[in-house]
């Protein structure tokens, strides 16, 4: 494999390892195993992006959304459809091919 998708600031030890692609927003509510409420996800996204502006971290500029395709329900798919359609129209958003996160250079 080329890399590993992780959640919120996961880092490897000094010995190194595969390239990491950290995600920041989990769209699932694992207690109910359903998609989280869109209003909650938008509010959390705003908080996470504001925190990245105030205190940038070394994971690049990417903002990752943690996806669980086999577990998504209508709420999760509906949020993704609406959120991605709107976000990708914003001039500050540059969608990234996930494969590019794990390439050299």
Q: What is the pLDDT of residue 75?
A: 95
64 found inside a domain: yes
- For residue 20, give the 3-state DSSP assignment: strand
34 found inside a domain: yes
105 found inside a domain: no
Q: What is the pLDDT of residue 32?
A: 94
Question: Which residues of the chain have a pLDDT value below 50?
Answer: none
67 found inside a domain: yes
104 found inside a domain: no
| Domain count across the chain | 1
79 found inside a domain: yes
Residues 6+ apart with CB under 8 A from 5: 20, 21, 23, 64, 66
Q: Which domain holds residue 66?
A: 3-9+19-97
């Amino acid at each position: 494999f080329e890399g590993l998708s992780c959640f919120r600031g996961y880092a490897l030890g000094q010995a190194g390892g595969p390239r990491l692609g950290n995600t920041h927003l989990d769209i699932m509510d694992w207690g109910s195993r359903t998609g989280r409420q869109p209003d909650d996800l938008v509010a959390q996204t705003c908080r996470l992006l504001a925190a990245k502006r105030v205190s940038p971290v070394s994971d690049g500029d990417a903002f990752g959304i943690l996806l669980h395709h086999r577990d998504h329900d209508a709420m999760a798919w509906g949020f993704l459809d609406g959120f991605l359609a709107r976000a990708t129209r914003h001039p500050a958003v540059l969608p990234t091919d996930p494969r590019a996160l794990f390439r050299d250079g």
